[in-house]
A and B are shown apart, each in its own frame.
Chain A
Amino acid sequence: MDKLLTKALRYKRWERILFSVILVIIGITGLTLLAFAPSYQDYVRFTEDYNIQARGVRISAQTTDIESERQRIASVDHVAACIPQSERYFFTSQLTAGDFSLQDARVTGINEALAPELIAGTPIEHADDFLCPPVLTDANGHKIDGESLIGQTISITVEQQHYTVEFFTNPDVFPTTSDTKTFTGRITGVYRPFEPDDNMLVAGFETVGEMSQYRQGNLQEFQPDGTLIVYADSYSNLSQVESALRSMGYSSSPTFWLDKTGVFLIMVGAWTAFVLIGLVLFWIIWVLLRRQLASRSNEIALLKATGIENIRIGRGLLVNLLRTAVLPVCLSGAFFWLISRLLAKLLFLGLVGYTPGPSGYIVFLAGIVAACCGIIIALLPGITRLSPALLLREETK
């Protein structure tokens, strides 16, 4: 019975083709954009975590004598420092050691956007990522005000990263945790660049340097490529530094192209696009469904007049919709995955240790799609409002 019902309600061939084409287009463009909205957030979180915003220029030094290249580049105006890529994390701590000042136990100065040397984590328990600004908690999970720790010597357990190259994605390296080691340091200040509950604890840079180096584990084994990171003394001078490096014959590109304003605008733009695309997607599916309902109104009225229940008719329409959608959804899903991986690679190139790509969001997107389908199904009672008496009103057609 249901098989015959589904056949009775089957869409016309041209409707099926149109619907499939629209779904593929939506799938590829829409899903890719949808996926990247949250990915931008990830990107921003990453750059903020490591505090390496747009202050650096990556160059390829075509020499084995890195040291002489570094000295040459260091003489360029507005260059604060030049380091091999592998030393970046360690350097970040060192660079900022003298650039900030502590006023009332808070960090101020031009380097607020850069990482001061910092020790963060959950020091009372353990610290599994001292570069992240967490909410400090004690062993019972209660929040601790970072300022109460100033002057105290605390112990922090650092987990060493073991880097491996992921096959197919060379040269990206991916860290896994290996050994742990406990460091002690005296807290000299608190830095709160983010939320009020965030506490980045400031300590002597030697401690942080050691911790950074330890944490890097075997990272240097993977960075023998002669790439240098050149840091400008401020974001506003970055393009000037980049131009100067180019004129010296280096191929250079900004390590990260977002400043805080840019990040904000991109986030607003991306999420606006996310919402708009979602609405357009829903609207298109809704219009198609309405159109198909209208084109099948005679059949629906006839089936209702025959005594077939609304729920069975609704199920027949839905089966037809899903059958039409299976191929385009699979196709667009495959293209979406490929394109998003490619875009992710291009956008997040150089973020060592960061696994790019929106694959983790597919589940999230599937949830959205499922929600849309749920709403559509919930709205199907439009069928109920379609009176079978329609067939008796020949003159109104």
Chain B
Amino acid sequence: MAILTADNLTKQYTKHKKSVLAVDHFTYQFQPGKLYAILGESGAGKTTLLSILGGLEKPSDGQLYFEDRELSGMKDRELSQWRKNKIGFIFQSSALCQNLSALENVMLPILAAGIPRMEARQRAEALLDSVGLSERADFLPQELSGGEKQRIAFIRAIANDPELILADEPTGNLDEKNEKLLFERLSALAKEGRCVIIVSHNPQILHYADCKIVLSSGRRLGADG
């Protein structure tokens, strides 16, 4: 059974009084246990599609189902709840809270899921340890390197053991070594049964992806795998 089903998803918005079709009737079924790479030139609608798949933006038309539940009709509060429990995001900018330490950044989604503070702390410490950053627990983001920040963003995304992981250019600021490491980790997560969807320009992704989706002007040109 597909974990995420996109049925004729369309996103249209107006910019400078001109109508822009960012996603044009996108239909696809995402399966658990696979890593998907969404490719396409700049402005092809990759990021908009990822936003819709993650419930961050609502489609103008079409339906999106998570397992058998329709998401496009959900209210903001329900969507928040769904994101909290089912999705992990990895952003291009590593997006960490600047006022929070590495440990607190990882604790945040765990606490948001309603886990008691002590347990959340223990879980966050274990996650930091798993990526070799336990000694950086009290460091603020500005005191960490790009690779360290991305590792923290990665463990924060998987802190609540989500079924769906969405990543937007996750290797954008990384060197080759860290890039490889991150793709390996994401691939491992897919192999464990999660659905991982990655938007990337990086050709290395093709070595790890089970399926490739190519977008152009909001339309799916093709998919393999």
Which A residues form the contact surface with B (CB < 8 A)? Answer: 1, 4-5, 7-10, 298-299, 301-310, 384, 387-389, 391-395, 397
Contact = CB atoms under 8 A, between A and B. Distances in A.
Contacts of B168: 392, 394
A299 B169 CA distance: 19
Given A307-B80, A307-B85, A302 B57 contact: no
Contact of B99 (A7, A306, A388, A397): A7
Given A299-B97, A392-B56, 11 more contacts: A1-B112, A8-B97, A8-B99, A303-B97, A306-B109, A308-B84, A387-B57, A389-B47, A389-B48, A391-B95, A394-B91
B56 A388 contact: yes
Given A299-B97, A391-B95, A392-B56, A8 B108 contact: yes
A301 B89 CA distance: 12
Contacts of B57: 387, 389
Contact of A389 (B56, B84, B117): B56
A1 B107 CA distance: 9
Nearest to B91: A391
Contacts of B100: 4, 7-8
Nearest to B46: A392
Contacts of A389: 47-48, 51, 56-57
Interface string B31-62: 00000000000100001101100101100000
A306 B93 contact: no
Contacts of B117: 1
Contacts of A395: 42
Contacts of B113: 307
A311 to B, nearest CB: 9
B77 interface: yes
Given A305-B89, A392-B92, A394-B172, A384 B108 contact: no
A305 B95 CA distance: 11
Contacts of A305: 54, 56, 83, 89, 91, 95
A392 B169 CA distance: 9
A103 B38 CA distance: 96
A389 to B, nearest CB: 4
Nearest to B93: A394
B77 A392 contact: no
A303 B89 CA distance: 11
A141 B91 CA distance: 73
A161 to B, nearest CB: 62
A306 B87 CA distance: 8
A213 B32 CA distance: 98
B160 to A, nearest CB: 9
Nearest to A10: B99
B169 A306 contact: no
A4 B108 contact: yes
Contacts of B48: 389
A384 B76 contact: yes
B81 interface: yes
B104 interface: yes
B19 interface: no
A50 to B, nearest CB: 60
A10 B97 CA distance: 10
Contact of B108 (A10, A306, A309, A394): A306
Contacts of B99: 7-10, 299
24 contacts: A8-B99, A298-B95, A299-B98, A301-B95, A302-B97, A305-B54, A305-B91, A305-B95, A306-B84, A306-B109, A307-B80, A307-B82, A307-B109, A308-B112, A309-B80, A384-B76, A387-B51, A388-B56, A389-B48, A389-B51, A389-B56, A391-B91, A392-B51, A394-B168
